């Protein structure tokens, strides 16, 4: 019997594909990509055991830049595709990449129910408070008074608070990271992957093209002064009262992930075909 040789660990570089990222110079998403690959290497994963799923937008380009399996899907529907994949192939590590427009607006409803279902996924949202790919429209996390050509005087609309919404909807792990801290972000992503259930990591990722003032974020972010809690109400209170610049794990629960038994009731493709026969 041949014993397969132990495969060498894959380095962060080994998780990067040969495609050069197409983002604006200075975009925070470059560092997020680096954090993804560092997190995968840190966890000792292999590209063939990881799937990166995304929707549409600047952030959603990430799957192509990794050597993992990738699915660049439909706008706002990345979580639906990822949940299906994880339920069918629980052996895979499934990481979902999204942005504030894709994730909170077009995909807002999927976000709520993904938190509620608690499938074992890691959902990473690169939040820059703007639709960058389509040239700077306000997104759900844009400040109400952000004045721009496309929203003169600001939208006047209250911002979406994704972390507290994730908590209320049942996410099992909630963290906030900053793209300018790639090693810290890699650590948070790794912890999110390690934690069973639906893990949500919001990454403040500056858009220097449409929101040049976000360059200041690196002076504004700080490690959260309190340790993470498993009390959702306490975590919610903290998140509701912070200024959105506290970095770290904010909530870590112990809910069992949703995973129906594999094999039971599973049909062959030919059985499915007969069901759909006209």
- Min CB(2)–other proteins separation in Å: 29
Containing 96, the helix (H) or strand (E) segment is strand 93-99
CA separation for the pair 177, 200 (Å, rounded): 11
Contact 50, 81 (CB under 8 A): no
Site for other proteins in 29-88 (CB under 8 A): 30-31, 34, 38, 41-42
Which of 19-27, 46-54, 117-125, 267-275 is the region at the interface with other proteins (rule: CB under 8 A)?
Answer: 19-27
Mention every residue, 6+ apart, whose C-beta is less than 8 A from residue 212.
none
- According to DSSP, the β-strands at 122-127 and 246-252 are unpaired
- Asked if residue 178 binds other proteins (CB under 8 A), the reply is yes
Site for other proteins in 113-172 (CB under 8 A): 135-136, 148-150
Which of 66-74, 183-191, 232-240, 267-275 is the region at the interface with other proteins (rule: CB under 8 A)?
Answer: 183-191
Site for other proteins in 220-239 (CB under 8 A): 221
CA separation for the pair 216, 248 (Å, rounded): 19
Rg of the chain over Cα atoms, rounded to whole angstroms, equals 19
- Min CB(245)–other proteins separation in Å: 13
- Min CB(58)–other proteins separation in Å: 13
- Asked if residue 180 binds other proteins (CB under 8 A), the reply is yes
Nearer to other proteins, 211 or 252 (CB): 211
Among 89, 194, 215, 237, binds other proteins (CB under 8 A): 215
Q: Where are the beta strands (DSSP E) in 11-90?
A: 50-54, 69-72
Q: With contacts defined by CB under 8 A, how many residues of the chain interact with other proteins?
A: 36
CA separation for the pair 211, 59 (Å, rounded): 15
Contact 99, 76 (CB under 8 A): no
CA separation for the pair 179, 41 (Å, rounded): 18
CA separation for the pair 82, 98 (Å, rounded): 12
Among 104, 111, 200, 210, binds other proteins (CB under 8 A): 210
- Min CB(145)–other proteins separation in Å: 18
* Interface ranges with other proteins (CB under 8 A): 12, 20-28, 30-31, 34, 38, 41-42, 135-136, 148-150, 178, 180-184, 186, 206, 208-210, 212, 215, 218, 221
């Amino acid at each position: 019997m041949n014993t397969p040789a132990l495969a060498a660990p894959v380095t962060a570089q080994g998780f990067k594909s040969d495609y050069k990222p197409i983002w604006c110079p200075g975009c925070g998403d470059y560092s997020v990509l680096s954090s993804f690959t560092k997190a995968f290497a840190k966890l000792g994963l292999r590209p063939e055991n990881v799937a990166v799923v995304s929707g549409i937008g600047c952030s959603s380009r990430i799957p192509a830049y990794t050597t993992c399996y990738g699915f660049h899907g439909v706008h706002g529907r990345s979580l639906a595709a990822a949940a299906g994949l994880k339920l069918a192939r629980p052996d895979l590590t499934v990481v979902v990449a999204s942005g504030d427009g894709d994730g909170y607006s077009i995909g807002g409803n999927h976000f709520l129910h993904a938190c509620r279902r608690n499938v074992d996924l890691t959902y990473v949202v690169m939040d820059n408070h703007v639709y960058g790919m389509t040239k700077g429209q306000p997104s759900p996390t844009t400040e109400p008074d952000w004045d721009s050509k496309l929203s003169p005087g600001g939208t006047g609309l209250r911002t979406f608070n994704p972390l507290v919404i994730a908590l209320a909807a049942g996410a099992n792990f909630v963290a906030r990271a900053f793209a300018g801290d790639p090693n810290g972000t890699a650590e948070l992503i790794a912890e999110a992957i390690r934690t069973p259930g639906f893990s949500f990591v919001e990454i403040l990722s500056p858009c220097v093209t449409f929101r040049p003032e976000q360059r200041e974020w690196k002076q504004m972010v700080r490690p959260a002064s309190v340790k993470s809690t498993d009390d959702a109400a306490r975590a919610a209170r903290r998140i509701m009262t912070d200024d959105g610049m506290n970095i770290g794990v904010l909530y870590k629960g112990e809910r069992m992930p949703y995973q129906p038994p594999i094999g039971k009731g599973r049909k062959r493709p030919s059985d499915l075909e007969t069901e759909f026969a006209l």
